[in-house]
Amino acid sequence: MKQMIQPGPRYEATLQLLRTAEMLWNGSRLFFARWDLSPSQFNILNLLRDASQGMSQIELSRYLIMHRSNVTGLVDRLEARGLVLRAETPGDRRAYRVGLTQAGTELMDEVLPHYYRAAEEIWGGAPVGRTQELLKQLTEVCANIERQARELREGQL
């Protein structure tokens, strides 16, 4: 007789985390549509908002955990709208620094109050202390995923 394989006690939490991430992404797409932005475009603008010297596309790809070619397309679209500007990096003609334009800064000034309010609303009445504990646990989960991915790449799993 074949033994039934049963999920561990945290399996349902993993599934719910995946559902939550998908819902958050889909909700973000709807939220940012009123400014004709994708969530990924917003993430680039948000990173650049705090980078007074701009960022390279490689830096953006690392922060966003996406391939550099995807960042290039996103930056192309934002640049076409006048929200970001590429500037050559001194000493490296192949690299560019990407920075916010005045229009990009103004758009972020318009979007962020709505974004911060929506970010609070999705938590409903959850106490701040519980969300801080969840943040700590999710950070640990991310570290475990990164470790597991590294081991898979190295053939250890």
Q: Which residues of 89-118 are buried (b: 16+ CB within 10 A; e: fewer)?
A: eeeeeeebbbbbbeebeebbeebeeebeee
Contacts of 67 by beta carbon, 8 Å cutoff, 6+ apart = 61
Q: Which residue ranges make up each domain of the chain?
A: 32-122, 125-157
CA neighbours closer than 13 Å in the CB half-sphere of residue 79: 14
Q: pLDDT at position 61, please?
A: 92
In CATH, what number does 32-122 get?
Answer: 1.10.10.10
Classify residue 37 as exposed, middle or buried by CB count within 10 Å of its CB (0-12, 13-18, 19+): buried
Per-residue pLDDT of 8-66, as tens digits, reads 989 999 999 999 999 999 999 999 999 999 999 999 999 999 998 899 989 999 999 88
How far apart (Å, rounded) are the C-alpha atoms in residues 11 and 145?
14
**Residue 75 corresponds to which tokens in the numbers above?**
């930056």
Per-residue pLDDT of 72-105, as tens digits, reads 999 999 999 999 999 887 777 677 899 999 999 9
How far apart (Å, rounded) are the C-alpha atoms in residues 109 and 124?
25
